Amino acid sequence: MFIHKDISVIGVPMDLGQRRRGVDMGPSAMRYAGLLEQITSLGFNVKDCGDIRIDRPEKEKDPEKNLRNLKEVFAASEKLEKEVDLIVQEGKFPLILGGDHSISIGSIAGISRHYENLGLIWYDAHADLNTGETSPSGNIHGMPLAVNLGLGDSSLRNIGNYSPKVKAENIVIIGARSIDEGEKLLIKEKGIKVFTMHEVDRLGMPKVIEETIHYLSQRTDGVHLSLDLDALDPLDAPGVGTPVMGGLTYRESHLALEMLSEAKIITSAEFVEVNPILDDKNRTADVASELVASLLGKKLVLT
């Protein structure tokens, strides 16, 4: 089930799911950090599919739906869904580079149709379970997990002509520490498994990942990793648009991805929310590139 030797990388330079400019340069920053070279050095056959073209908005916000840049996010998601669908059809591992977290609407739509029970690890400081009715901002990057559950705007949730993309019982959120009240209610209602920073601190990252692997292995036939760099503490990943103090450490995150690599359950992945404008000498893109390498099997080897 694990990662194929052939990996297709696709960038989504999207900054329309939120209001801070710069995250559209995330894919370029990760490539500049040596991401493709790192993957190739691990023995993978890597194809860089380039970037999805993103249209600029005619108007920023739909006043009736409380959704910012809905038309353009929908168009980009449709393009990404088609590209990712083809990658999976070709038997390759999709590695998607964001862009803000709204890109997961398109990526998961392209992936999930190939699985009976897709599992989803949402590695993020936020739950991203808002809808237009509950969102305080109207930013779609705070809504993609809800959309993939079949909630919220009908055009977004029906991309790929099916909904939902993932079942609530197949989701594990790791690292959450900024959850809106409406999201808390939805988590309880749907029974979504969440390891907040409280659980990570009490249990330790090894136990959290062991439980995640056991939980998802029993009920899924593939697992998508959606990793938002703001899951990490801003001290380790400063170049993100919505930093939240008290996050996961650099080493905890490497351990998590090393354990997921060893478990051989990850079948697709995306890394999002790298914003070079807010970064310090491309540190966050470097961290993202290194985390990708850990997911793909890079280890500290003593000779």
- Taking only Cα atoms into account, the Rg of the chain, rounded to an integer number of angstroms, comes to 17
At 178, list the tokens: 């900024």
- Which entry of 15, 273, 279, 290 is annotated as an active-site residue? 273
- 128 an active-site residue? yes
Stretch (H or E) spanning 170: none
- Angstrom CA distances, 67 to 43, 57, 128, 135, 159, stand at 43, 12, 14, 9, 16
- Which entry of 72, 85, 100, 124 is annotated as an active-site residue? 124
Interatomic CA distance for residues 118 and 265, integer angstroms: 11
- Which entry of 78, 81, 128, 180 is annotated as an active-site residue? 128
- Which entry of 15, 81, 101, 180 is annotated as an active-site residue? 101
Location of structure tokens 């808002």: 130
Interatomic CA distance for residues 186 and 116, integer angstroms: 24
- Which entry of 81, 141, 233, 254 is annotated as an active-site residue? 141
Exposed (0-12), middle (13-18) or buried (19+): which is 214, by Cβ within 10 Å? Answer: exposed
Question: For the packed helices 104-112 and 70-89, what is the interaxial angle rounded to 10 degrees?
Answer: 30
- 230 an active-site residue? yes
SS3 at position 238: coil
- Which entry of 230, 233, 252, 279 is annotated as an active-site residue? 230
- 126 an active-site residue? yes
> Amino acid identity, residue 5?
K
- Sorted by sequence, the CB contacts under 8 Å of residue 285 that are 6+ apart come out as 26, 29, 30, 32, 33, 239, 274, 276, 279
- Which entry of 100, 228, 233, 270 is annotated as an active-site residue? 228
- 114 an active-site residue? no
The answer to whether the CB of 183 falls within 8 A of the CB of 134 is yes
- 55 an active-site residue? no
β-partners of residue 228 are: 272
Please provide residue 214's backbone torsions phi and psi, each rounded to the nearest 5 degrees. Answer: -60, -45
- 211 an active-site residue? no
- Which entry of 126, 153, 224, 258 is annotated as an active-site residue? 126
> Which residues are the active-site residues?
101, 124, 126, 128, 141, 228, 230, 273
